[in-house]
Structure 1
Amino acid sequence: MSTNNVNANVNATVTATVMSAQTAHAAERRPASRRANRWSRRIRLSFLGSLKAELLKLKSLKSTWILLGLAAALMVGMAALSAWATTFMATIDITTGKTLDQPKPLAAVDLWAVLASSGSTAALVIGIFGVMAITSEYTTSAIQSSLTANPRRGMFYISKSIAVALYALASGVVGILLASGVLWLFVQGHDVTALSDDQWRIIPITVIGFPVIIMLIALMAVGLGGLTRSTVGGVSAVVVLLMVLSSILAIVSMAVSQVSWLGTLAYLTPDMAMNNFLGASINSDAVSSVTSQQNYWIPEWWQSGFILLAWVAAAWVGGLVVTAKADIK
């Protein structure tokens, strides 16, 4: 046999051996690749995992506890101040200014109104908390790490919103419980009149509606923060919607009779809608005498609830769209 034939046979044998090895290696890699893909799908971040991460992030921030603690303290402080004013006026003769020998009975509806109104100031702090919860991701560039760990932006935004809502709800529950305790201390020794039939709705509105309203304000603030992606811009928007806008509309409405219809627009703002809802459309005689002279439409308490829901939905959905579509700064 010639040398050429021997070399040809050797090359053919080597080629066949190499091809067999490559085929066997590829066959071994396919199951490994499938196992890797299955493992990758298993370790993919779930919604509950994303929510847990956002809860832990908020828990680790000092600003969370400072703002939520301040909100609860404001609820208690406002309740204490209003309760003191209510009980003090019950011991004074308005016409003479002298102290009465026997304090006048306190109206139960006024005491419930004290609790319901204690959250108006705290709502601003809760709004700042909601804004900072999402804008801090952008101001510290932590959003890059957050979206690397969870590239599904919609899930990230929803998880962040639910985490903020849960913390705000807890703050509202704690605040209303503490405010109730303070109010109970102030009314000791006073006679309290019972609620009438049409006034009983203020109890569920205060006990359940108060924490829910605080939660809704936080969600609206998250939306404003997502829209602006700036702490300054988001907080400014919250201040305008919860403090400035309704005041301007109400002042202009009272000052200029030709535009008194602006009073209705004032009741369509978030803070007025919140206060009107918590007030349950139950007014004292003094307030009723004032509102009876107004020649513009004032929504009922349940209508104000829907108005506030509309504001929350618009802000939150706007924040979702911007978070999902806009590039990271």
Structure 2
Amino acid sequence: MSSLLNAIGAEFAKILTTRLWWILALVLFGYIGLLAGGLAALFAGIQSGAISPDAAGTSSGGIPDFGTLPPLVYSFASSVGYVFPVLIGALATTGEFRHQTLTPTFLASPRRGQVLGAKVIALFVVGAVFGVVALAASVGIGAPVMNAFDVDPMLSDAATWWLIGRIVLAMGLWAIIGVGLGVLVPNQVASIVIVLAFTQFVEPLLRLAASFLEVTARIGNFLPGAASDALVGASVFTMASPTGGAAEALDWWQGGLVLLAYALAATVGGYAVSWKRDVT
């Protein structure tokens, strides 16, 4: 147990002694704050009548109800911001291969499975911290904006705080997926390209294409982003679905298990493919 704790401490030291984590956290806060604040103002303004739906280029039928707007705004933390914990997880792993820090690490801790386990635990915590940062933006900016338009931010509801807790969990799981991807694809440039291409283009297009039919939409529920949204319980992608969410989504716990399965599959697969190889 002491050796595992030492390994976890070493992983935290590797992360916190670089500028990467807080730079990504700052970008995450600004990105989510801009989206959440802007769309909270738009939708809350339309719902309150301060902004005309015609002036906004939409119709009242496409505007979420009062009861669904706050979770939608808060969920930007994970539905849009999940790429950041994936990146930090992948970079923390591929950096070990790129800078050859795995060699002294394995010399100090020969049990490679324990080293990878420590990295998974450390990055899960970092991903959860990123979730808190993203929520500080989506809730900290979105709630006052909605309140300014007399829209209840629902911060006194227990359901809102359960959603916030699930967002933190989802962001932690995404960081583990990043670790697994970094182990599967040790090349740092290739890993970054895969993360950005899949999260920003491939999966959104797949989810959009799948959502046109109920049968394919059910299959699309098992994509990692869709599973994450199910775990959280709210997402802008659901609102934008052409079917209007006609296909029954996974329950939150089912979404969590699917996302965990992706994380475990990537990590275990990476351990078998590259982590056990000679790194000298």
Q: Out of 122-131 and 280-289, give the one that drifted further.
A: 280-289
Aligned partners of 1:113 and 1:279 also within 8 Å:
no
Among 75, 83, 98, the alignment partner of 1:124 is 83
Instruction: Name the counterpart of 2:256.
Output: 305
Indicate if the aligned counterparts of 2:86 and 2:175 stay in contact, CA closer than 8 A. yes
Structure 1 match to 2:6: 49
Contact 1:220 1:311 in 2 (8 A): yes
Identity %: 23
CA distance in 1, matches of 2:162, 2:179: 24
Structure (1 or 2) with the larger CA radius of gyration:
1
Q: Paired residue for 2:119, among 139, 147, 160?
A: 160
Question: What SS does the corresponding residue of 2:147 show, helix, strand or coil?
Answer: coil
Could you tell me the TM-score, scaled by structure 1's length?
0.70
Tell me the residue number matched to 2:216. 262
| 1:224 partner amino acid | L
Partner residue of 1:223? 180
2:271 to 320, 323, 327: 320
> How far apart, in 1, do the equivalents of 2:239 and 2:106 lie?
56
Which of 36, 58, 65 is the matching residue for 1:79?
36
The Cα RMSD (Å) is: 3.4
**8 Å Cα contact 2:36/2:137 also seen in 1:** no
The separation in 2 between residues aligned to 1:68 and 1:285, in whole angstroms, is 27
Q: 1:167 to 1:249 in 2, by over 3 A?
A: closer
Q: State the distance in 2 between where 1:121 and 1:305 align.
A: 17
Residue 81 of structure 1: how far off its partner (Å): 1.9
Of 25, 36, 45, the match for 1:88: 45
1:64 counterpart = 2:15: no
Equivalent residues in 2 for 1:203-222, closer than 5 Å: 203-222=160-179
CA contact (8 A) 1:241 1:269 kept: no
Whether contact under 8 Å (1:107, 1:192) holds in the other structure is yes
Q: Does residue 141 in structure 1 map to residue 100 in structure 2? A: yes
| AA of the residue aligned to 1:273 | A
The TM-score with structure 2 as length reference comes to 0.81
Deviation at 1:289, TM superposition (A): 7.0
Would you say 1:173 and 2:132 are equivalent positions? yes
Q: Tell me: CA distance 1:95–1:49, structure 2 relative to 1, closer, same or farther (3 Å).
A: closer
The residue identity in structure 2 corresponding to 1:320 is Y
1:134/1:222 contact within 8 Å kept: yes
Distance 2:264 2:24 in 1: 23
The answer on 1:275 being equivalent to 2:229 is: yes
Give the stretch that moved more between structures: 282-291 or 298-307. 282-291
Q: CA deviation at 1:201?
A: 6.9
Alpha-carbon distance in structure 2 between the residues aligned to 1:289 and 1:262: 11
Distance in 2, matches of 1:184 and 1:239, equals 29
Shift in Å, 1:71: 2.1
Letter aligned with residue 122 of structure 1: G
What is the one-letter code of the residue matched to 1:59? L
Q: Is the 8 A contact 1:278 1:301 kept in 2?
A: yes
SS of structure 1 residue aligned to 2:51 = coil
Q: Cα distance, 1:134 vs. partner?
A: 0.8
Q: Are 1:249 and 1:262, in contact at CA under 8 Å, matched by a contact in 2?
A: no
Q: Aligned partner of 2:112: which letter? A: R
